[in-house]
Amino acid sequence: MRTLSIINPDAAGIDVGSEKLFVSIAGDEPVIFGTFTNEVYRLRDHLKTNGVKTVAMEATGVYWLYVYAVLEAAGFEVVVVNGRYVKNLPGRKTDMSDCQWLATLHAHGLLRGGFVPPAEIRRLQDYQRLRSDHLVGAASQVQKMQQALAACRT
């Protein structure tokens, strides 16, 4: 019987949630981390200690962004995958088994990551969003001043 060869022996999978991060290294028993900053740093240190070089995680809402940033800054190769492509198999109902499945697929080289712009482009996008928010906020303040002046005239 043929088995799939392991391409990434130093791979991990992370199931990212709003309150917990489930991490499995090479499909082993998951370790659970919180989502606060110190917990994400503890996750980073756990991955480094165990010799992980590449990490796969699902793009769940906006929750993956800060984990991605911390892991990318630490030098990990981070692959962000669409959850629809890895959840189509029956029997995987929990976050614990999801992270193990992600780690297993990633170790065998079966995951393809989505496009995440480079850090410089993401920073520029953040500045553009902030500028847009400031322009909308300024327009709102001008309208309030006009309303206040109009109320004083009457």
Question: Where exactly are the structural domains of the chain?
Answer: 11-107, 117-154
User: What DSSP letter does each residue of the chain carry, written as one string?
Assistant: ---PPPS-TTEEEEEE-SSEEEEEETT-S-EEEESSHHHHHHHHHHHHHTT--EEEEE--TTTHHHHHHHHHHTT-EEEEE-HHHHS-STT--SHHHHHHHHHHHHHTT---PPP---HHHHHHHHHHHHHHHHHHHHHHHHHHHHHHHHHHH-
pTM of the model: 0.74
Q: What is the CATH number of domain 11-107?
A: 3.30.420.10
- At 73-112, the pLDDT tens digits run 999 999 998 777 666 555 555 666 778 888 888 888 888 8
